[in-house]
């Protein structure tokens, strides 16, 4: 039989763990968004240029505008040159003294020689203070692996786009940041990294890679002055999410304005206080969480298929 003292000890450990989880959750909600003062971004960066991938729409575009507002020159990298030109023109209208350069690159291209030819030289010749690894790719709607819309090619693209650019561009900017002993790397991940997201297999797993990658880098470069942050949004109103603006789904401008204030304050966060409150759901027991996520994914899938069927009948 287990003695009473052993049971008491186990109970105290369990209670201590519960209290720790509660206090930490409260800290991540209150401190970054309601108490902390944002550090001087230019001191953290140490360079005049900011590189933003996936910068013509959504969160990436909002980061570009916010960084321009903070006085950083911009190197914008996205797939479509016409969108890059339009984004550049928009930024220059509001921030005339900021330099804006663009590179058209399709990040589903995993050929390292193409990176070396088209992307890396532009990064290496500039004093890059901030790198925002934002480019990403998701599914059109939740689906089991072998039925994902777009088939094997889309699955390959999701894995490549969500993992490879973050890895390569981070490795490319680190030498100059290590030499300066400062710099900022922001990796845009997703709350999908926090759980086993049924019907989102490759997307969820690739975002978990981003979180794990950043955690390792913070250990590897702990002796430097480099700031490495991971942002894990819940629902933001973007073209990719297709969500309408609401309290829990802010527009990209308000979302990024909140997220950018946490650079140098907290290494990993959801980006805004309402998402941080929502993220407490990931503290539920795994069995309960998996059930809730699966039910939600199935409901979203069913709605998407109904909408697709209705559109097909209307043609």
Q: Which residues are catalytic?
A: 203
CA angle, 269 then 138 then 259, to 5°? 25
Helical (H) or strand (E) element with 240: none
Residues 210, 188: Cα–Cα separation, whole Å: 8
DSSP of 269-315, one letter per residue?
Answer: E-SSHHHHHHGGGGGS-HHHHHHHHHHHHHHHHHHHHHHHHHHHHH-
Cross-strand bridge partners of residue 49: 73, 128
Helices assigned H by DSSP within 97-251: 112-118, 120-124, 151-180, 201-220
In the chain the first and final C-alpha atoms are separated, in Å, by: 72
Using CA atoms in the order 219, 273, 47, 210, what is the torsion angle rounded to 10 degrees?
Answer: 40
């Amino acid at each position: 039989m287990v003695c009473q003292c052993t049971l008491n000890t186990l109970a105290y450990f369990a209670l201590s763990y519960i209290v720790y989880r509660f206090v930490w959750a409260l800290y991540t909600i209150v401190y970054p968004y309601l108490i902390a003062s944002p550090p001087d971004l230019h001191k953290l960066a140490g360079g005049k240029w900011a590189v933003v991938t996936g910068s013509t729409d959504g969160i990436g575009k909002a980061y570009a505008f916010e960084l321009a507002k903070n006085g950083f020159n911009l190197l914008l990298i996205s797939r479509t040159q016409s969108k890059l030109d339009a984004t550049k023109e928009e930024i220059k209208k509001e921030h005339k003294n900021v330099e804006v350069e663009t590179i058209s690159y399709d990040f589903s291209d995993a050929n390292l020689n193409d990176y070396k030819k088209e992307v890396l030289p532009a990064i290496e010749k500039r004093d890059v203070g901030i790198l925002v690894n934002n480019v990403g790719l998701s599914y059109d709607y939740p689906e089991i692996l072998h039925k994902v819309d777009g088939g094997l090619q889309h699955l390959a693209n999701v894995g490549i786009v969500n993992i490879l650019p973050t890895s390569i561009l981070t490795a490319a900017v680190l030498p100059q940041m290590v030499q300066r002993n400062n710099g900022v790397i922001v990796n845009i991940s997703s709350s999908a990294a926090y759980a086993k997201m049924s019907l989102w297999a490759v997307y969820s797993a690739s975002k978990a890679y981003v979180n794990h990658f950043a955690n390792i880098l913070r250990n590897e470069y702990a002796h430097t002055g480099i700031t490495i942050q991971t942002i894990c949004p819940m629902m933001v109103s973007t073209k990719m999410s297709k969500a309408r603006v609401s309290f829990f789904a802010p527009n990209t401008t308000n979302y990024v304005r909140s997220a950018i204030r946490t650079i140098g304050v907290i290494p990993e966060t959801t980006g805004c206080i309402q998402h941080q409150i929502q993220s407490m759901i990931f503290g539920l027991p795994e069995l309960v969480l998996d059930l809730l996520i699966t039910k939600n994914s199935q409901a979203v899938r069913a709605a998407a298929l109904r909408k697709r069927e209705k559109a097909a009948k209307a043609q």
